[in-house]
Structure 1
Amino acid sequence: MEISTVVIGIILFAIATMIIYGWGLVKQKNQSSDLMNMLFSKGNSKVKKYLKKNEYITLPQVAELCDGIEAKLPFSKNKAIVKDKNDFAKQLMQYMVKTGQVEEENGSYKKSK
């Protein structure tokens, strides 16, 4: 085995290690926002499912639906859990109104048309 082959192998191994390490750093940096997005997505789907069966939903009902929702990323020990259900429900409904998924009407919410 020539010395140039060994040097090229070491350089390729170092490059592969740098890429994997960089990927891990980026995933760790974005982890909290990804967990929050997953929580909002799960809450969003529960509210939509409820609104398929019922015409209106109130903030206390949203809070009960969202109580204890968990989000966990694959290959990670960290997870996000809804602890303050009332605050989460308020933020979720503000997001859903802002994105046009629901409409606010007299303190309750209904599905947008």
Structure 2
Amino acid sequence: MGKGEILLGIAAFAVVTAILYGWGLRRSMTQADDLRRILLSRGAGRVRRYLKQHDTVALQDMTRLVTGLRGGQPWSRHRITVSDPAAFARELADYMTEQRLLDKTPDGRYRLRH
């Protein structure tokens, strides 16, 4: 093995290490936002399943549905849990309305958008 091959191997190792470090750093910086999005997505799924069996859902029902909701990224031990179901239900209702998944009825309840 020549000196050129050794230097090329060291350079390749350094490049791969830098790429993996950058990817890990970026992932750790955006992890909180990613976990929040995962939790909102899971909550939206629960509400949509509920609305397939019911016509409308009230904010109190959403609070009950998201109580104990947990989420996490694959291959990560970091998890997020709903600690304040009432506040999260309000945030979830706003999120689902912004995403055009729900419509707000005049009586303050929510229904699936068709």
TM-score relative to the length of structure 2: 0.95
Match of residue 110 from structure 1: 111
What is the identity, as a one-letter code, of the residue corresponding to 1:56?
Answer: T
Aligned to 1:40: 40
The aligned runs of 1:45-56 (5 Å cut-off) are: 45-56=45-56
Q: Give the equivalent residue in structure 1 for 2:12.
A: 12
Give the C-alpha shift of residue 75 in structure 1.
2.2
Alignment of 1:91 onto 2:91 = yes
Partner SS for 1:57 = coil
Structure 1 gaps, min length 5: none
CA shift digits 1:15-60 (9 cap, x unpaired)? 1111111110111111111100000000000000000000010001
Q: Kindly state the Cα deviation for residue 111 of structure 1 after the two structures are TM-superposed.
A: 1.1
Partners of 1:49 and 1:60 lie apart in 2 by: 16
Q: Which residue is 1:25 aligned to?
A: 25
> Which has more strand, going by share of residues?
1
Q: Distance in 1 between matches of 2:20 and 2:26?
A: 10
| Distance (whole Å) between structure 1 residues aligned to residue 113 and residue 3 of structure 2 | 69
Query: Which position in structure 2 is the counterpart of 1:68?
Result: 68
Displacement of 1:77 after TM fit? 1.9
CA-based RMSD of the aligned residues comes to 0.8
Q: Percent identity?
A: 32
Q: Normalising by the residue count of structure 1, what TM-score does the alignment of the two structures yield?
A: 0.96
Q: Distance in 2 between matches of 1:98 and 1:9?
A: 51
Aligned pairs, number: 113
